[in-house]
Amino acid sequence: MHIPFEPQLFDYQINIHLILEYLAFFLAFRYYVYLRKRSVDSINSMNRLSIILGAALGALIGSRLVGFLENPMIEFSKENIVQLLNTKTIMGGLFGGLLGVELAKKMIGETKSSGDLFVFPIILGIFIGRIGCFLSGINEFTYGNKTSFFTGMDLGDGVLRHPTSLYELVFLVLLFFGLKYLKNNFSLKNGELFKYFMLLYFAFRFFIEFLKPNIFYVFGLSSIQILCILCWLYYRNTVVELIRCWKVR
C-alpha cells in the first residue's frame, strides 16, 4: 500500500482521513453510550447532557485555538482563512473540553467528577483518528522528522521519517489496557481514571513532539508542549499524590 493512501471511488478521490475522523466520533460516542448503560452514573441525565455540551463546545474552541498557535505566522488570504478554520488538534480539543466541562459544571452546580466514563471512548476515538493520520502521510502535519532509525518510513515524500502516528497507536493500545487494569484491580476515587489518562497522554505527546518538524517557541518548546505543561500544572495535586505514593512504596 502506498502512503499517502488516496483511494478512489467512481473517479472521486476519497479523503480517508476525513472518513476515519467521522468514524472516530461516531464509534467513540456509541462506545460511551454502551458504557453508560452498563454502569451506575452518579450524575443525572440532564446534568450529563449539559456536561457533554460543555465538553463539545470547549473542544471545538480549544482544538482550533491550539491548532492556530501551532503555526500562527500566516498570510491573511481567503485560502489561508479557510485553512485556519479547518485547522484543529486533539490536544487543544482535550484541554478545551476539560475547561468546557468544568465551566458547565459550575453553571449547573454539579460537584461530582464526570470524566471517567469518557476515558476509553476518547482513547478509541483518538486511535481511529490516528490511523487516518498515518494513512494520510505527509498530507497531515502529524509526520515525524527524517531518521536513519530502523522504524523510519517513506510517508510520501521519498524521505525516511519517524512514523509518529504509528508510535502513538502503540502507546494508545498500552494506555487502554493499562488503564483497564487499574480500573479493574484498584479502588480508584471518582475522577482519578480521567486524571491518569490526561497526565499520561499529555506526557507522551510532550516527548513525541520532539520527533516532529514543529515550530518551537519559548524555551525551545512547541505550543503543544507548552499545553502539556499547563495540563500537568492543572493536575499538580494529583502529580504530588502520585509522587508521595511512589516514595512510600
pLDDT of amino acid 85: 52
Instruction: Round to whole Å and give the CA distance between 186 and 24.
Output: 29
pLDDT at 77: 52
The answer to whether residue 190 sits within a structural domain is yes
Is residue 35 scored above 70 in pLDDT?
Answer: yes
pLDDT mean across residues, the chain: 83
Q: What per-residue confidence (pLDDT) applies to 5?
A: 75
Task: Return d(Cα 230, Cα 194) in angstroms, integer.
Answer: 16
Q: Is the pLDDT of residue 111 over 90?
A: no
Supply the pLDDT for residue 165. 92
DSSP symbols for 179-218: HHHHHHHS-PPTTHHHHHHHHHHHHHHHHHGGGS-PPP-G
Q: What is the mean pLDDT of residues 53-73?
A: 74
Q: Is residue 99 part of a domain?
A: no
Residue 35, domain member (yes or no): yes
Model pTM above 0.75: yes
Residue 56 lies in a domain: no
Could you write out the three-class secondary structure of 224-246?
Answer: HHHHHHHHHHHCHHHHHHHHHHH
**7 pLDDT more than 80:** no
Does residue 81 register a pLDDT over 60? no
3-state secondary structure of 116: helix
Question: Does some domain include residue 51?
Answer: no
pLDDT at 203 over 70: yes
- The verdict on residue 212 lying in a domain is yes
Note whether residue 140 is domain-resident: yes
Q: Give the structural domain span for 222.
A: 8-42+112-248
In a domain, residue 201? The reply is yes
Query: Higher model confidence: residue 166 or residue 2?
Result: 166
How many domains are there within the chain? Answer: 1
